[in-house]
Structures are given as structure tokens and as C-alpha cells.
């Protein structure tokens, strides 16, 4: 092979690699643009809302039986919300929390609780910057089911029901227009239907605990059901 031929082959190889590199970068940009357009299409129309899932850290509090005799063993919840007016939303939540008894002298021969909860809530959200949202909410209707397990087997349990009371504050950090990381704090003050002797009734009439939740939210839609922007467009 002559030196001239070798040089031609070298230039051909370099040119081919250059073309491949340019094409690859162009294809990467195209795929990124398609992904961004897909995300934007999800949040560019329809009613604004979100769906989320979170793992919960349970912290018993107060001087009622939950705060005195139990420690939290974690939990989870699912939440769904829709914005009805700019910043104002309605939603629903369902989930479970778990407790372990650390003082049977207060509650008797129970060793654990599985708490099932479901409720509707009303709240307000404010977004001071593009990537951050701050919100508060309160339950408007809800029920809780306390499944109290006895020592000695899975089939031995007793059920207590309660009117659920929940107050929540949260932060959403948006990693994209569609997904956000959610950090929340919820205070629960459930009114139970437990009946006991009059001198102990005040200890068992409520269940009080805090929940620290860490999860992700999936965002969709653009406007609230009733929105100022829609009104301005009509005008």
C-alpha cells in the first residue's frame, strides 16, 4: 500500500467517524426533545392534579394509649388530588400504618396494631418557584380501622374503629414537569370508639401520632377545574 493510499484511507476513516459522531449527537438531541415533548404534553392540557405513593415513618405522640404504649413500625399511603380552583385542591388518601406494643401494662395483652386509613381532604398549594411547591391540607371525612393483634397468633385480634382527623403540610420538589419528590408531615388525632372504665376512658378516647412521609408524585394536567387563566381567555 502506498503512502498516498494510506493517507486517503486515514482521512476516509476520520471523516466516517466524524459523520457518525455528528449523527449520534443529533439522534440523542432528538430523543431528548421527544421525551421533553411527551412530558410537556402530559402537563399541557386537562385538569391539573397528581397521584403519589409514599413510605411513612410513624411517630406515636401525646399522652393517649398510642403515645404511651406503642412504637411505630412504618407504613405507606397512596394519594390522589385534583385542583378545583387556582391553588385549592380536593383529594383522597388510603394506606396502612403499623405499630408494636412496648408496654402491655397500659393496653393489656396486645402486641401489635395494623391501622388501615382512608379519607378525603381539602387543601391549598403555593408554588414560590418553578421547581418547588408548598401545601397544606386537612381531612374532611375519613375512617380508620385499628386491628389489634393479641399475643399468641395471627387469628387472635380485636377491631376498633375511629373517626379520622388528619392535618398535613408538604413540600414537592420537581425533578421534571411530570415527576416530583414529596416530603410530608401529617398529624393524626383520631377519635376512637373504645369503651373502658370511666377512670381510663380519657386515655383511650383518642389515638395521636405523627407521620413523616417520603415519596414520589406523578403530575398531570395544566389548569384547575375553575381557573383564572380560563376566565381571562374567555374575556
Backbone angles phi, psi at 148, to 5 degrees: -95, 115
Of the given ranges (23-32, 121-130, 134-143), which has the lowest mean pLDDT?
A: 23-32
Break the chain into its structural domains and give their ranges: 3-234
pTM of structure: 0.78
Write down the H helix ranges in 80-235: 104-107, 201-204, 228-234
Going by C-beta distance under 8 Å and a sequence separation of 6 or more, which residues neighbour residue 63? 203
Q: For residue 163, what is the enclosing H or E element?
A: strand 157-163
Q: Does the pLDDT of residue 74 top 50, yes or no?
A: yes
Which tens digit of pLDDT belongs to each residue from 159-189?
Answer: 999 999 999 999 999 999 899 999 999 999 9
Q: What angle do CA 77, 154, 193 make, to 5 degrees?
A: 60
Residue 125 has pLDDT above 50, yes or no: yes
Task: Determine the pLDDT at residue 196.
Answer: 81
Give CA 174 to chain center in angstroms: 13
Instruction: Find which of 18-32, 100-114, 215-229 is predicted with most confidence, using mean pLDDT.
Output: 100-114
CB 193 within 8 A of CB 164: no
Mean pLDDT of 106-131: 93
Tell me what pLDDT residue 108 has: 83
More confident residue, 42 or 119: 119
Q: Which CATH architecture has domain 3-234?
A: Beta Barrel (2.40)
Residue 204 has pLDDT above 70, yes or no: yes
Cα-Cα-Cα-Cα dihedral sign, residues 190, 193, 197, 199: positive
Extract the C-alpha cell encoding 11: 482521512
- 8 Å CB contact between 199 and 31: no
pLDDT (tens digit, 9 = 90+) per residue, 80-103?
A: 999 999 899 999 999 999 999 999
The larger pLDDT score, comparing residue 145 to residue 232, is at 145
Residue 3: the pLDDT is 53
Amino acid at each position: 500500500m502506498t503512502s498516498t493510499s494510506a493517507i486517503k484511507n486515514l482521512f476516509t476513516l476520520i471523516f466516517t467517524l466524524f459523520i457518525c459522531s455528528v449523527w449520534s449527537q443529533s439522534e440523542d438531541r432528538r430523543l431528548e426533545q421527544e421525551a421533553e415533548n411527551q412530558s410537556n404534553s402530559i402537563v399541557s392540557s386537562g385538569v391539573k392534579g397528581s397521584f403519589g405513593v409514599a413510605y411513612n415513618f410513624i411517630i406515636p405522640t401525646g399522652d393517649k394509649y398510642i403515645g404511651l404504649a406503642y412504637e411505630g413500625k412504618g407504613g405507606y399511603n397512596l394519594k390522589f388530588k385534583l385542583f378545583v380552583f387556582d391553588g385549592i385542591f380536593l383529594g383522597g388518601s388510603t394506606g396502612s400504618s403499623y405499630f408494636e406494643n412496648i408496654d402491655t401494662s397500659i393496653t393489656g395483652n396486645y402486641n401489635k396494631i395494623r391501622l388501615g386509613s382512608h379519607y378525603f381532604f381539602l387543601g391549598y398549594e403555593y408554588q414560590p418557584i418553578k421547581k418547588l411547591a408548598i401545601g397544606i391540607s386537612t381531612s374532611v371525612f375519613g375512617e380508620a380501622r385499628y386491628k389489634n393483634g393479641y399475643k399468641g397468633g395471627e387469628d387472635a385480634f380485636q377491631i376498633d374503629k375511629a373517626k379520622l382527623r388528619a392535618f398535613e403540610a408538604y413540600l414537592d420538589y420537581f425533578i421534571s414537569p411530570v415527576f416530583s419528590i414529596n416530603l410530608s408531615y401529617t398529624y393524626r388525632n383520631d377519635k376512637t370508639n373504645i369503651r373502658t372504665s370511666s377512670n381510663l376512658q380519657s386515655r383511650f378516647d383518642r389515638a395521636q401520632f405523627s407521620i413523616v412521609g417520603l415519596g414520589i408524585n406523578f403530575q398531570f394536567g395544566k389548569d384547575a377545574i375553575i381557573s383564572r387563566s380560563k376566565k381571562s381567555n374567555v374575556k
